[in-house]
Structure 1
């Protein structure tokens, strides 16, 4: 038996290291330190571990100091790819926990759980974008929330084009409020500078910048698409093959696929959903109006008219009769026990429900800054603000998470290609996603709802609690979304995907979309993921966006779709980028 001293006394044996177990190191010293593995005997004889306080460490032991390599946000952009660093920041956004399939073909772990986190340190307006994987610190991982001081060690820099983010490595350790006391890093110069910066902040101002949950995917797709070298190194998936992708999804599994086809139809829906209003004016061969409900969330405005092509309104009202072609079949799971939610038109019609009401609420919010300053501060009483948005108003709404995916409400603006009315009855598989799920929309963070929010964001609660009541859902800068119908190249299958544009810098996704100017056409908005501010400071209206939809006629596109199973019969299908014909490159580099 060997005895050794590493800040503690223990008895055990030293084994050869596993060269592929630890991948990322920030210094040569760590390479030397981590090329051995310590194995402690459970019995015969049992190991004895004695923790030595730092003050009791003897100089003659020659134990090295724990090295730190803290980097500020302004320094990360100039760091090399795969370089390791430590960071400290104030959390402003916490994403939901999702899972991806393990890339290792061996081992017990089939899925890796992770979440996206934003943190700021005052050195620049841009936040740290952190991809944090669940590790041996589940309590800390599950309790990361906005307004928390977060320390992440041994993070790895990932440079992808113009995007940079940090991902956790196998050596990463997490520290949140409640864990900082007596940690060695509190004496680091950059940590002290961060603490001084936080003393200049106004809590109520920072709280308004916080958000949680919603659809979030990073890094953004590249500006051009090459079939054999897209962002995920995956080949194009035929629209008809989406059935297998959807059926194999597991709970909270995120998967990105690329589908190729034509944009057959575009619909615009307001958000939050409102009580249904039959669109009696949507008839064959007539002008279709872009209706704005002045009594709900949108300000009074004139009615804009736009001429659309002939369409069959088989989902206009709940009482309308629906006829389905004999060739059309319902897309459902065959052998799996879980009943998926592939809605056909008749299914959507029967499940349609009225929208929910909205209201405004006042809240008093308080938070504890933790041991970094060893003092408490109170957040000022803040009236929840209702912010004017270019395409509507941000409102406060109490919503219940549905047990099943609900059908989309009637659109307020529509466009169809010339071929879609005649082709859609011949489509054998039509994958419909229903309306935008509440969990797909990021919401404001409220301290009073902290436990409820963490319960919804995490895969499972850390401990059993009684049923939690619904909380106040305050969407972050989301006033509407588009439903794109992508028709396969063979015109035998179609899929409906949702596109939620970024309309405000308050949206957490704004940190990951390019800020280049474009012409605010529908194709440009879907390609970049956001709306551009017009010279008068406003954003384009849904009507002006839909007026450019005819540019999509006969345009061959590649749609990058993010799939995520939110729960039983609730699949999220969101378009993160649309490539036009000019943006699709051949494997040899030609377009």
Structure 2
């Protein structure tokens, strides 16, 4: 159970949802405590405005976001606002849809919405703020609600509590906004208000669809008239009809600010053209809600009642068209191409498709279109914005596309493109087209990333049949290659989700330090711990520490109670174990070299390497060639002494037999300092075409794969315990030298030093077996390393910490 901070010390009132009774003391400071278990039905985010601070006079607003939560006890629903002091529960994905709550404390609050707004609660309606709550880690049982099936209830059919039923769709309670933001980014549309079909004729005015339609003005005439200062164009609304084709479409841009009031602070930019030229048309505010999802590149549209303005980013001799919902209310229509007079039909969009071979020769910054077969669909992650608004988190995922023209796949770092439905359907084995990407180079690797106008199209949604690019020669060549591919071979390398990093870090310390020029230096162990605690859900960051390795553990997924490991007897353990939980993949503790005791310790002898190998083979399981031992279910430090006493019986006292010839022996010890198992989200899944929708939902933001539900592409993994040289803090990190989606591999010696610096096994020889690798772990004793760590918060108490590189420090 996770307890939130309470802002009130006494609660003398209660709320009983099941009987629809809400009892308050007459004191205005009374708070109501719900003794029933509650479930979170929905969670909605929005940006606060100038008046939001009025509704939270006793708290300091945390960040720009507010959250409204819809709760149920299985009998009715209630929509409340989360106190800003509890925002961190949402930002770390502790509180989410489906969460079970107890001891929820509510305070009456007024709403920010005008009573005339559909969906707003009036002064007579019940409106509350959720002030404190316990988030339960386990789901409620049927018995919790008198036999009512908690998860079988149709929540949409439940009545609203008291008089809180809204007159229309829900709107934000504590800010004068008309739409909600998506939970995890500011780019995607969120909610049913965003239309997928154009408004009806009655809403927008009837647009004749007879053949031979003609524009009343052209782009060139608008530009000339505005720049020459003609009054009708320069100062007023333009009534003349403009017929243009959409060439490019930007993602949605949210410009809401806490110091300004705007009900729908969105804009989107369309690049449109006719036969005389091109111009930017900017959709503002509620026009975005009505039209953004309805319009796509290639559409021919008619515009009336717009304004011509100076282009806000271009030189003085260019214009833009402002399309707003008022002053004046613009009129937009999508026209069939057949209805436009041929001499006025705008030209079709152009594309610049490049295959994987051609991309190698393109300069950085070039804008490209690509088509490929998707063989890796990474999990969505987030990173901090670098455009000056550092608080914003940008959502992205990695795609690997193949087109058969080179051995190098097309790597795409795909950020949100305001196409959430399309991104959800980015399954492996889909044919994906990404337009208007920008080519980038880093660490001698080429990859593509978004521009403002990037759009994504994939099979399964009917995209390709609607787009004009399907007839282009590069697309036809790709399709010929695609038809020659074998399903089974592609499926064998198709992956979804899991940890992935690109471009890979360099393999030498000198190159890595050169690439880090201008980036803050190494963290102390305690500083790393604070940074990890500050991560938000799915936020990805890279950190560096200087450390030594004090423990290496080899494990297999699903069998973490059986392991093989090595420890440095001198410095690996301390009286206080690492701070961790069973669900966390990173843990910390201060250690002291003088107090360390080895658990699975190499014991040097003088000769007999051949007999050492014989000894290891006797310990290995026939199927996986790796020795195992079982960790006791109840880990008790009191068994250490008895365990050491029993070691004599495991050793061979005959000096002429194997023991004297063994460099190392491996034994079983109680693992009271066992690193936590790897998180389910860390290991990529093998793509299962029959269950593709389930897999897609499991890896999306807020999704979570059930343990063992899907086949993992990686069964074996290693955990290294690092001790920071700066302050002795220990941290457990996952190391994946046999990742199924490795960076370009290079030959090396397969020693621990070379494996860590390359992040993978050598490409020119078989990898060492786990037993051999553990046997070689004494190479790490007292080695000072620069460790590159990739951190990603996976929600709740789970933080993924991957060791991507470790370079040996010179003496």
Show CA shifts across 1:490-543 (max 9, x none).
34312111101126xxx12x2xx23221011112112112112565xx321122
How do 1:107-186 residues align onto structure 2 when only pairs under 5 Å count? Answer: 110-177=392-459, 178-186=462-470
- Give the CA deviation at 1:131: 0.5
Show CA shifts across 1:28-73 (max 9, x none).
xxx999x754321213442111222234444543734312100001
Aligned to 2:477, what secondary structure does the other structure show? helix
- Give the CA deviation at 1:552: 2.3
Aligned to 1:455, what secondary structure does the other structure show? helix
How do 1:167-566 residues align onto structure 2 when only pairs under 5 Å count? Answer: 167-177=449-459, 178-225=462-509, 227=513, 229-230=515-516, 233-273=519-559, 275-276=561-562, 299=623, 301=625, 317-322=632-637, 434-460=676-702, 472-476=709-713, 478-502=714-738, 507-508=740-741, 510=742, 513-532=743-762, 538-566=766-794
Match of residue 578 from structure 1:
806
**How far apart in 2 are the matches of 1:41 and 1:524?**
61
Match of residue 302 from structure 2:
9
Cα 1:300–1:145, aligned 2, differ >3 Å: closer, same or farther?
closer
Match of residue 330 from structure 1:
none
Contact 2:620 2:627 in 1 (8 A): no
- Give the CA deviation at 1:236: 1.5
The higher radius of gyration belongs to 2
**How far apart in 1 are the matches of 2:466 and 2:371?**
16
Contact 2:600 2:667 in 1 (8 A): no
**How far apart in 2 are the matches of 1:36 and 1:455?**
43
Match of residue 52 from structure 1:
335
**How far apart in 2 are the matches of 1:232 and 1:147?**
40
Aligned to 1:438, what secondary structure does the other structure show? coil
Cα 1:101–1:38, aligned 2, differ >3 Å: closer, same or farther?
same
Worse-superposed segment, 203-212 or 246-255:
203-212
Task: Name the structure, 1 or 2, with higher relative contact order (CA <8 Å, separation 6+).
Answer: 1
**How far apart in 2 are the matches of 1:299 and 1:543?**
13
Show CA shifts across 1:445-486 (max 9, x none).
11222221111111147xxxxx9987742121x242222122
Contact 2:745 2:763 in 1 (8 A): no
Contact 2:381 2:538 in 1 (8 A): yes
Contact 1:89 1:119 in 2 (8 A): yes
**How far apart in 2 are the matches of 1:102 and 1:272?**
37
Count matched residues. Answer: 444
Contact 1:240 1:488 in 2 (8 A): no
Cα 1:148–1:218, aligned 2, differ >3 Å: closer, same or farther?
same
Contact 1:227 1:235 in 2 (8 A): no
- Give the CA deviation at 1:79: 1.0
Aligned to 1:172, what secondary structure does the other structure show? strand
**How far apart in 2 are the matches of 1:132 and 1:118?**
10
**How far apart in 1 are the matches of 2:727 and 2:487?**
55
Contact 1:414 1:546 in 2 (8 A): no
Show CA shifts across 1:170-192 (max 9, x none).
11011111211131111211011
Aligned to 1:514, what secondary structure does the other structure show? coil
Cα 1:111–1:495, aligned 2, differ >3 Å: closer, same or farther?
same
Contact 1:68 1:185 in 2 (8 A): yes
Match of residue 358 from structure 1:
none
Aligned to 2:331, what secondary structure does the other structure show? coil
Cα 1:440–1:61, aligned 2, differ >3 Å: closer, same or farther?
same
Show CA shifts across 1:120-144 (max 9, x none).
1111232211110012111111221
Worse-superposed segment, 175-184 or 224-233:
224-233
**How far apart in 1 are the matches of 2:517 and 2:617?**
38
**How far apart in 1 are the matches of 2:754 and 2:454?**
39
Question: TM-score, with normalisation over the residues of structure 2?
Answer: 0.50
Match of residue 167 from structure 2:
none
**How far apart in 1 are the matches of 2:806 and 2:519?**
17
Cα 1:284–1:209, aligned 2, differ >3 Å: closer, same or farther?
closer
Match of residue 95 from structure 2:
none
Contact 2:353 2:474 in 1 (8 A): yes
Contact 2:539 2:792 in 1 (8 A): yes
Contact 1:534 1:540 in 2 (8 A): no
Cα 1:301–1:100, aligned 2, differ >3 Å: closer, same or farther?
closer
Cα 1:75–1:61, aligned 2, differ >3 Å: closer, same or farther?
same
Give the aligned CA root-mean-square deviation in angstroms: 3.7
Cα 1:50–1:203, aligned 2, differ >3 Å: closer, same or farther?
same
- Give the CA deviation at 1:413: 6.9
Show CA shifts across 1:297-350 (max 9, x none).
x6275979xxxxxxxx9x953434338xxxxxxxxxxxxxxxxxxxxxxxxxxx
Aligned to 1:124, what secondary structure does the other structure show? coil
Contact 1:413 1:542 in 2 (8 A): no
**How far apart in 2 are the matches of 1:533 and 1:209?**
17
- Give the CA deviation at 1:154: 0.7
Worse-superposed segment, 285-294 or 451-460:
285-294
**How far apart in 1 are the matches of 2:717 and 2:426?**
29
Worse-superposed segment, 572-581 or 36-45:
36-45
**How far apart in 1 are the matches of 2:627 and 2:424?**
47
Contact 2:436 2:454 in 1 (8 A): yes
Show CA shifts across 1:151-179 (max 9, x none).
00011111113211111111101111121
**How far apart in 1 are the matches of 2:749 and 2:442?**
26
Cα 1:414–1:140, aligned 2, differ >3 Å: closer, same or farther?
farther
**How far apart in 1 are the matches of 2:707 and 2:718?**
27
Cα 1:481–1:207, aligned 2, differ >3 Å: closer, same or farther?
closer
Match of residue 377 from structure 1:
none
